[in-house]
Structure 1
């Protein structure tokens, strides 16, 4: 089996496992079939047979009870009902008994005997019914006597046969159950034996297959780990596995790899050591050991040698050019640093001017906002004055209306004074006619006339005052209308002033924002100029340092031993990436 292919080894192992699984499956199927057959016999025959037999025994007891009831009935209806029940009970009894016989035919003789006994006792049952139909004490006594002496012995025989059948059936069921348990135990033992045998065989095959596969893999793994850790000498001789399978081929290839590394790596190490020591005037030993794609390693080493030799020669030439170039860079950097310093001073002054402008714009914006607020307040005050003027005009109109009413009242007073004056004149005339008797009345009439004259004079004065007041009110209304019109114009002007102030504030804000952006830009320019200044200074310092490094580089190149045939530099193929 050692020289078989791994695939064949695995196929043989799994074929044996599959065969064992098949055998185990067949044994399990046979055992399961036996158990199922026994269980079906137990469930589908024994249990239904016992159930039907128990039902038959129950109905024979019911049948017997109804016959006893018939022996003591006292009316035709009850008797007819009992006769009907007896007939149905007898039919049910025989139905269950026949069903029992169908499940278990071995008891056919006992069942036939029960049929014979019950058929023979049918005439006795009819005599019991006839005696009970007399519906008298003597008839019931006769029926009971027939039952007790003739019919009950037959029922006793039937119940005895049924009890024996029940006992025998239970014993048969017990026997079948024990047989099923025995069969189950045997099947379990057989299955366990087959499983154990299969497990032992599978373990043995697994051990053999594992050893055949793992042993060479472990040897190859150990040797590869030694190679990975650079222990080539210790790796030699660690792979002893030899066969014709894939692992044998792999082990042989691993031994060839070890021998290849033992031949090639020392040569590569010597070349790299010479390169590290600055000696590029060397070549690879064991030239023919580099086979296949490994020849690219050899060619790459030669390519490195040629190109480094050429590169170092170019470095030596570039160092000379670098020395002259660094001096020019240093002088230019110093001039740039001086110009950057002057630019920084100018930008600083510009930044201060922009800051001053920004403060002025902020103050202008603040004043415009304050003026806008005051204009808004003035507009509100004008609106309030307009409202008050409207109220004043309304009040003066009311006064005008009241003056008209007052003029009417004064007119009435004048009329009253006029009538009073006329009455006082009439009274004076009548007093004069009366002579001495009317003197007192004449005095009163004179006084009344005087009062009437004063009332008329006062009414005229009041009329003049009211007319003057009305004229003043009319003039006041005109003035109020003119004032309201002026105040409206003032409100409109205040609104326009507010709008203008708002525009000024917005413009000032935008200007302030622009100034902020300009300030940020100037700061950035200042930072750039400062960075340029610092960079220029650093460039000057770096130029001096670079000049020093160029001198050191020339000295370093002189320490290398370059390959003399540098004209072939770059002719070797590069390593594939």
Structure 2
């Protein structure tokens, strides 16, 4: 029995030591009033125990807790929890008599002390914790503000990047940002400014390229049409020269044939001249023979005259002879008549010969004139032949020249066709260049510069 008492005495001593020496404030509450407390309670409330006893927790509670609850309702709620669970713990904001806030953690449990129903409450001073919490709250608020600032900065940067992604180069970020983001803002603005300058130069250059390509394209198209016309003209010229070459070749052939014909005519004319000379010689012989005949006829005429005289003399003598001379007279008469006929015939022949001589002389003159004409014709043929030879030579040279010209024109035609192909290629390149310039301009037009520098668009795309 004494051992048990000693044990209880020991526990009581321990309880007293804990109660008095604990850094936490201990209160015994009965009927909502403090009936006992320890030294820590005096320290935490900055009041002596005598003044604390008789007061209650409500005397040290503000009209409203930090969470907005009414203290009476909150106490009732916490008391209900303590009755239900046997104890409860919660944070509470008290205040000292001087109005200084006193945040604590209150632990409540019900106890029966010497038959009296009491509430034991001990408070843990949370002022340092509150300061730490305040500092933590301030740090959290600062961090949250920083996070909000970062979030706002990210949002502004994201919006600017989105505008930049859509081609809007008037997306420079104007207002300053938090220090860690302001260099990024300046770099972003510098990048946008440089990109705007590049796009503006690109737009200007694309406009220049487009205008130049348009000029090249128009010039190439006009040149292509002109060269095609020239090619058609050259082709027509080549065809005409082909006909001219064919005509020249035919003319050369005909000139050669004409030369041959003229040479044949010249030879025939020469032969005719020689035949005329032979005819003249024969006529000269006829004339000479006519002269001989005339001489012979003269002799015959002389003989006929003498025979006539002789016959006349014989008739005279026969008449003198009488009858004896009658027969002789008849013969003489016959001889005389024959002589007269011979003389008459000789005269006629002589007349014929003289007329023949005249005709022969006329023939000689005509043949002589024909010979002269033939000689002139031969000379003319020779001259014609020389002209024909010259024409043939000229025609041959012209044919060679026309052939050379035709070859040259054919080369020009081929060169013109090559030029047409090259010009068409150049025109195609110019069209491609214009299309690329349009693409560049479209890319440049995708970007929106600031209000001071509106879009630069090409006339073809505006």
Q: TM-score scaled to structure 2, two decimals? A: 0.44
Choose between structure 1 and 2: higher helix proportion.
Answer: 1
**Structure with greater Cα Rg:** 2
